[in-house]
A and B are shown apart, each in its own frame.
Chain A
Amino acid sequence: MADNYTGPLERIDATRWRIPKSYKPGMRVDGVIYADDKLIDAIKGDKSPEQVANVACLPGIVKYSLAMPDIHWGYGFCIGGVAATDPQKGGVISPGGVGYDINCGVRLIRTNIKFADAKMQIGKLVEEMFNTVPCGVGRGGVVKFSKPELRKLMAEGSRFVVKRGFGWDSDIESTEAHGCISDADPDSLSDRALSRGSDQCGTLGSGNHFMEIQVVERIDDAKAAAAMGLVEGNLTVMIHSGSRGLGYQVCEDALKELQHTPRKYGIDLPDKQLVCAPVESPEGQSYLGAMRAAANFAWCNRQIMTHLAREAFSNVFGLPAERLGMTLVYDVAHNIAKMEPYDVDGKTCQLCVHRKGATRAFPPGHPELPERYRGIGQPVLVPGDMGRASYVLTGQPGSMEHTFGSSCHGAGRRMSRGAAIRASRGRSIKEELAKRGVIARARGRTGLEEEQPDAYKDVNQVVDVLHTAAISHRVARLRPVGVIKG
């Protein structure tokens, strides 16, 4: 499926590579990939740079088609891609620029618990979380919402479930967009989307979704870590999931509906997975309304899982989650399209920023940040792989200048799932992880094999690139000690 990329890649500086717009007809802007010398070789190993060039053909794209260092091949858009379009200049919205798992994202919960004191409890914690948070194929949630309730949930976002006891008021402030994008249109969702989502809110799913118990291994920025409540040697919990079947169906419905839209608006596309519609068109607005509703569902999903994770900790330690200090550090989306203001040629323009496998990374002082993060910048959560590490970063001014307020979203795959399974033959990934001090529990038979550490790039390299490029700065490195997979 994915051959090597053989097109041009011109070095701009130590962390950026250009695909010139002269590369292929139809490119309106250059492509820019963030990578160092080591990563760029791996990136050329699949067709994802070609996808960066294809995205550069979208009408209304501004400045450049971007890719973060965790770039890898995706459907239409690459994973790790960022593209901003200007609706005033015919800019489009493309469901492929968001992906099937709308508002797939990550949240991090800190604790007061010292790993040194809780070492012997990690196995019990993993088991308790595995049994408390529904995960894996066909596992329904602890709460089933009727269709009218679902519509209300998608209109209100996180607040809807917090009001019903699934979390704390402070969680809302610590969630991107306060867990609710306005102008969601839950009424535009198909019956099928609603039925796929009715019992999936508060479920982990499978694939690369996970819950992790981690220990803060190293602090790189003491001031930022203190603002986030991160203490070296203490446990954290990371949750990675998205909008489940409801979001997949919203994307599926949109791809079908928009099949003939490019022809209607005279848009020439190099790949039909890039189907799109002008942001201001009825079709574009319809998708945006449905996508925002699915995004709000995803925030509720992670919110309910947060509540369940707190319950699991509480059960194991015999103390309320408040006493364990389990506050939410932050929640960020990494598959989303949002209208955001940016300076373009000295003018402030509302752009439609597609982030597909890319995380928002607003710098210090940004008005959208909660008060406690205004001085340090937005927390950027970067899960690595289950054997090495994850990172907490903060958004920096460079992100507004160069990447439409975006940073990376993870390590990025370097092996297909099939290749990862083949590479695991004769090995026990569970035992290998145990030797590294990680207790893993998975519902699916191949989950650990497909997600083994070797299947991913080295997250340290990915994070280094963006730190060097002054897009996002390192705050803390988190080491996994317990992993729960679907």
Chain B
Amino acid sequence: MPAAEGLYAAFGELVAGGDGSILCFDFQGDDPSVMLRDFLTELLILFERDQRCLVAVVDAAFTESRLVVTVNTAPVDLERSAFHREVKAITYHELSIRTVPGGYEATFIVDI
């Protein structure tokens, strides 16, 4: 969720409104940071194409080679949201995930 919030902060101040819907994403690979990037890319497309955003992570399971995330999404309230800028992509530059006390810390850089 914090990674998604980081991405959404680049867009502006998004406010969700309307009916939620559940989506499930399943990523496989050999680099957890790339799988996180792929997940954030799905959120980017969801916002840009469907004007929807993530409101809650329902379930997340990950290993070194797989990331499965179930999320609740809702339409972005275009009237109440404030948009700062578009995001072109989540880049591979300095992409990383580190273990920190109580969880993980991820670095990703977006191209705007």
B is a partner of A: yes
Residues of A bordering B, CB below 8 Å: 1, 75-76, 100-101, 136-138, 192, 195-196, 205-207, 245, 248, 251-252, 255, 272-273, 417, 443-447, 450, 486
Instruction: Count how many chain B residues have C-beta atoms less than 8 Å from C-beta atoms of the other chain.
Output: 22
Chain A minimum-CB-distance residue to B10: A417
B93-105 vs A: 1/0 string, CB under 8 Å?
Answer: 1100000000000
Q: How far does the Cβ of B90 sit from chain A's closest Cβ, in whole Å?
A: 9
Task: Specify which chain A residues have a CB less than 8 angstroms from the CB of B109 in the assembled complex.
Answer: 1, 75
Check B28 for interface membership: any CB of A closer than 8 A.
no
B57 touches A (CB below 8 Å): no
Could you say which of B12, B89, B93, B94 contacts A137, with CB atoms under 8 Å apart?
Answer: B12
14 further A-B contacts with Cβ under 8 Å, apart from A138-B78, A248-B88, A444-B85, are: A75-B109, A137-B85, A192-B45, A207-B86, A245-B48, A248-B111, A272-B92, A417-B112, A443-B83, A445-B82, A445-B83, A445-B84, A446-B84, A446-B85
Across the interface, do B85 and A207 meet the contact criterion of CB distance under 8 Å? Answer: yes
B72 within 8 A of A: no
Is A138 within 8 A of B48, CB to CB?
yes
Is B70 an interface residue, CB under 8 A from the partner? no
Assuming the contacts A137-B85, A447-B85, asked whether A273 and B48 have C-beta atoms less than 8 A apart, the reply is no
- B-chain residues with CB within 8 Å of residue A196 when the two chains form the complex: 45, 48-49
Provide the residues of chain A in CB contact with B92, threshold 8 Å.
Answer: 75, 255, 272-273
Shortest beta-carbon distance, A64 to chain B, in Å? 24
A195 to B78, CA, bound (A): 20
Cα A119 to Cα B15 with chains together (Å): 40
- A251-B11 Cα distance, complex, nearest whole Å: 20
Task: Report B85 CB to chain A, min CB distance, Å.
Answer: 5
Contact (Cβ within 8 A) A445 B91: no
A444 partner residues in chain B, CB cutoff 8 A: 12, 83-85
Q: A101 to chain B: which residues have CB within 8 Å?
A: 88
Our pick among B82, B85, B89 for the contact of A100 (Cβ within 8 Å) is: B89
B91 contacts which chain A residues (CB < 8 A)? Answer: 75, 273
Nearest-CB residue, chain A, relative to B50:
A195
Instruction: Contact check, A138 vs B89: say whether CB atoms are below 8 A apart.
Output: no
A-B CB contact pairs (8 Å), 22 listed: A75-B91, A75-B92, A75-B111, A76-B93, A136-B83, A137-B11, A137-B85, A138-B78, A138-B83, A192-B45, A196-B49, A205-B86, A206-B84, A206-B112, A207-B112, A248-B88, A252-B41, A273-B92, A444-B12, A445-B82, A450-B85, A486-B85
Closest to A449 in B: B84
Q: A138-B83, A252-B89, A445-B12 are in contact. Are A1 and B111 (CB under 8 A)?
A: no
In the complex, which residues of chain A have a beta carbon less than 8 angstroms from the beta carbon of B83? Answer: 136-138, 443-445
Residues on A with beta carbons closer than 8 Å to the beta carbon of B88: 100-101, 207, 248
Q: Chain B residue with minimal CB distance to A200?
A: B48
Tell me whether A248 and B45 are in contact in the complex, defined as CB-CB below 8 angstroms, given that A1-B109, A137-B12, A444-B84 are known contacts: no
A101–B87 CA distance with the chains assembled, in angstroms:
11
- The smallest beta-carbon distance between A350 and chain B, in angstroms, is 30
B31-90 contacts to A, CB under 8 A, are 41, 45, 48-49, 51, 78, 82-86, 88-89
Cα–Cα distance between A447 and B112 once the two chains are bound (Å) = 11
Q: How far is the CA of A76 from the CA of B92 in the complex (A)?
A: 10
A450 CA to B51 CA, complexed, in Å? 24
4 nearest CB pairs, A to B: A137-B83, A248-B88, A100-B88, A206-B85
Of A76, A251, A252, A255, the most chain B CB neighbours within 10 A belong to A252
A486 to B88: give the CA distance in the assembly, Å: 14
Which residues on the B side are within 8 Å of A447 (C-beta)? Answer: 84-85
Residues of chain B lying within 8 A (CB to CB) of residue A192: 45
Q: In the docked arrangement, what's the CA distance between A76 and B91, Å?
A: 10
Q: CA separation between A75 and B110, bound complex, in Å?
A: 10
CB-CB under 8 A from B86, the residues of chain A are 137, 205-207, 486
Given the complex, which residues of A lie within 8 Å of B48, measured CB to CB? Answer: 138, 196, 245
Distance in angstroms from A197 CB to nearest chain B CB is 11
A273 cross-chain contacts in B, Cβ below 8 A: 91-93
| A272 CA to B37 CA, complexed, in Å | 15
CB distance from A450 to the nearest CB of B (A): 7
CB of A186, distance to nearest CB on chain B (Å): 19
Closest to A421 in B: B84
Report yes or no: B85 in contact with A138, Cβ–Cβ below 8 A: no
Instruction: Give the complex CA separation of A273 and B37 in angstroms.
Output: 14
Residues of chain A with a CB closer than 8 A to B51's CB: 138
Chain B residues, Cβ within 8 Å of A76: 93
Separation of A270 and B70 alpha carbons in the complex (Å)? 36
A168 to B83 alpha-carbon distance, docked (Å): 34
